[in-house]
Every structure is written in C-alpha cells, then in structure tokens.
Structure 1
Amino acid sequence: MRSRSALLVLADGRLPTGGYAHSAGLEQAIRQGWVTDIDGLRDFLRGRLHTTGLMNAAFAVAAWNAVDEHTLPEGSLSSPSNTGSTAGTATPTEATLRDLDAEIIGRTPSPALRRIGAWLGTLMLRSMRSIHPHPLLDTLPKDLQQPLVYGAVGRVLGLSDADTAATILHEAVTGPATAAVKLMHIDPFQAHGAIFDLAADLDEAADRAADFGRGDPAEIPALSAPLSDFAAELHEGDNVRLFAS
C-alpha cells in the first residue's frame, strides 16, 4: 500500500475503529458550559491539539521507531502476510511497547481516559488485522493505548513516523469537531472551518511530536489537560450521554 493512500485510510473518520463514538471530552465540556459557541470550539480544538494530541502523537512516533523488523517471524514490514498469529512469541519490540504503554499511562491521570485509550487501541488493532493482515500486528501486546497501536500500524502501512504523528493530530481535532455538529447548534461548515484554521498548528505540532518521539520516551512531556481529565470522570458517571467520552 502506498504511504499516501495509507495516510488517507487512517485519517478517514469512517475507519471502523470506534472513534466516531467519542467526542474527546467535548460533550462534557458543552454540558459544563465551557464550550458554548464556535469560538469556544476553536479554543477547545487548539487546546486539545497542543496538549493531549501532541503527547499522543509523540508516543505514536516512539512506537513507530520501536518496531524492529528483525523480530518479525516472516516477511518484510511493508508486505502483508498470512502466516498466522505469533502472539505467544515474546520479542524486544513487545517489551519496548509495554514500556511505552507504562509511560503514556503514567501521563494520563484519569482512569476513564486510560480505559478509553486501551479500548480504542484494541478496536484499531482489530480493524487493521482484518483490513491489512501483517505478522507485526499479531505480535503486539493486548490492551495497548491507542497511540502506540497507531504507531505500529503506521509502520506496517509504510508511513513515515512524522506522517503517523500527523494522522494522530488530525484525529485529535476532527473527532471533536465532527461531534460538535451533533452536540451544538453549529453550522457544519463552521466546524470544519475551525479545523482549517488550525492547519499551520497541525503541521508545527507534527514536527514537534516527531522530535519528541525520536528521543528518550521518558523525556516526552506530560502534556495532559487536567480539566479534560476531570471532564472524563464526570462523563463516565453520566447516565444520559450521546458519546462514550
């Protein structure tokens, strides 16, 4: 698969990875009165991009670089294989991904967000095993946080680590922007215009994430957003909600 085509597939909101059921905290932010109009949505998207989005993209890059093709049972990184599962074989890549998982969990104070991250990672892995079977996908540990699965998938599909970061950041803003159309009295064109307004920020953040992710994972900044963590816990306790998060 050409990397440009792979990038478009991963960035497509119709990819069955469960993200369409999540508002990335926007639903609760609206309920609490923190986001009330298009200007508030722009601020929300910009804040998410430069905090959780950037951190997740950096970890996706770290996971991309952690993949060691020499540990794969058969085949090359860019070629699918029907060799079957090798999940019982421990590899250096698996150990490294477990370490990265611990690092990203340590930067995610909210238990609700940790559970959501693992669930979305599981759905991403399940989807890609069906869409593009590859031996690497069969060696990944269970319950990895979503950004780490994105990193491995980006490597399998032939994306660069920087393009993988860009995909994570794209999802970080398009998910809540799309949810805003259902949650607010807002024109869909305005919601997508808010994404276009962030184009330069998205490019700059992808470069920063690539730099962070290529270094020592322990040095990746903990760019979490405390209010979003608080909102996630509130949202999980709500009995009536449109989105899972």
Structure 2
Amino acid sequence: MRAYTQLLILADGRFPSGGHAHSGGLEAAVQAGRVRDLDRLRDFLSGRLHTVGLVGAAFAAAACARPFMMDELEEELDARTPSPAQRLAARRQGRSLIRAARVVWPGEQVERAARTKVSQPVALGVVADAAGVTPGETALLSAYHSISGPASAAVRLLGLDPYQVHGLLAALGDECDEVARAAAAFTRGPAAELPAASAPLLDISAEEHAAWEVRLFAS
C-alpha cells in the first residue's frame, strides 16, 4: 500500500521540522525592495524554484533512493552552497527534521543522519525513505517546500492576503511539478552529476541577512 498518509504528514506545514522559522531569503529581498507585492513575489518564488529548488529536490530524491550515500551527498551539496549562512540554515533545518523523524519514523539511517548533521534536502530524503515515500514524491515535496515556506513568510513580511498567496502557489503548480520531474531524473546518477543551478543573489543576501541584529526569520 502506498504511503500516502506519510506523504501528507511530511507535506504538512505544521510538521515540527523548523521550516516556519525560515523565509528562504525572502526577508532580505523584501528589505532590499526587490519583493514588494504579489507579482514580485511570484517572480521570486519562480526563480527560487528553478535554482535552489531544483538542486534541493534532486538531492532529496537521491537521498531517498540511496540514504546510505548521505555523506557523499552532503559533500556535494556543500560544494553547491557557497554561502556559509545558507549552509548553517540548511543544517539547522535538517537537524529539526531529523529530530522529529527520530520519534515519528525511527530507523538506522535516521539515527545515522542525526549523528552526521545533514542539511535539510538530504535529511528530507532520508526521512522520506524511512516513511516509505518514493524518490519522485520526495522531489515534489522538496520543490513544494522551496516555495511554500517563502510564500508563508510573505504573508507576515508584506501583509499580503493569504488567499491570494495560496492562489499564487496553486498557479505555480505546473512549474513545481516540472521541477520535481527534472530533479527525480537525477536520482540514479552519480552524486557529482546532480544539478548545480545557482542563485548568487540569494547567497549574497543570506550573508547580509545573517549580520542583522533584528530579524523576523532565521534565514
């Protein structure tokens, strides 16, 4: 029987994985004036989805298919994350996700991930495997998370109508599916050949954001 309930649990924004504390770079973009309304938010989310969203989804799917390769995957993901602030944020989210998984879906690879402190995409793949979710579904989860987190943050940061924001997420559904399919296609290849799409402005903004004394979100 397919693990549809487990998939829904992982996709639920109320799952205690720590994602609510992160804006995915949106807070810095709002502060800089690059995102100020719904149209600009769509541009931000689409750009994020096709860059760091694609990379994260590919690594999550690969970790789901081969959780025993988490160390190698983590090294490759580090090589694609030039910002120390982004690496730290990803590991914090990974730690929160693994902490929840040790209670909900305990297992050998989950325990190993807890010891090695993997980043969020790799952690998601390991946890998805423990939950019985497929690599393709994991890619979709990761791609969706890459835009749903910042979209949720936009409601607080910009005071946008939550109905319109969720309508925007629905409108990005086809793009999200496309990115997930592209990411899942890398599942069986060598870790070194996983996507390396970049978003330099997100990296720069993350470093600036980390130096702020007052902020609403951790990243």
Q: Are 2:191 and 1:232 aligned?
A: no
Partner of residue 120, structure 1: 93
Aligned-residue sequence identity (percent) comes to: 46
CA contact (8 A) 2:97 2:123 kept: yes
CA contact (8 A) 1:35 1:44 kept: yes
The equivalent position to 1:208 in structure 2, one of 179, 182, 190, is: 182
Partner of residue 56, structure 1: 56
Distance in 1, matches of 2:85 and 2:178, equals 29
Distance in 1, matches of 2:214 and 2:170, equals 32
Aligned-residue CA RMSD (Å): 1.2
The equivalent position to 1:158 in structure 2, one of 117, 121, 132, is: 132
User: What SS is found at the alignment partner of 1:129?
Assistant: helix
Q: Deviations over 1:59-87 (max 9, x none)?
A: 111111223xxxxxxxxxxxxxxxxxxxx
Partner of residue 129, structure 1: 102
Structure 2 gaps of 5+ residues are none
- The 5 A counterparts of 1:163-178 are 163-178=137-152
Deviation at 1:99, TM superposition (A): 1.2
Deviation at 1:124, TM superposition (A): 0.5
Scaled by the length of structure 1, the TM-score of the pair is 0.86
Deviation at 1:184, TM superposition (A): 0.2
User: What SS is found at the alignment partner of 2:186?
Assistant: helix
Q: Which amino acid aligns with 1:234?
A: E
CA contact (8 A) 2:121 2:142 kept: yes
Report the more deviating stretch, 157-166 or 133-142.
133-142
Deviation at 1:2, TM superposition (A): 4.8
- The 5 A counterparts of 1:67-82 are 67=67
User: What SS is found at the alignment partner of 1:212?
Assistant: coil
User: What SS is found at the alignment partner of 2:102?
Assistant: helix
Q: Deviations over 1:164-198 (max 9, x none)?
A: 01111111111000000000031111111110111
Structure 1 gaps of 5+ residues are 68-92
Q: Are 2:127 and 1:183 aligned?
A: no
Structure exhibiting the larger radius of gyration computed from Cα positions:
1
Aligned length: 218
- The 5 A counterparts of 1:99-110 are 99-110=72-83
Q: Deviations over 1:173-232 (max 9, x none)?
A: 110000000000311111111101111111111110001232121111211210000110
Partner of residue 18, structure 2: 18
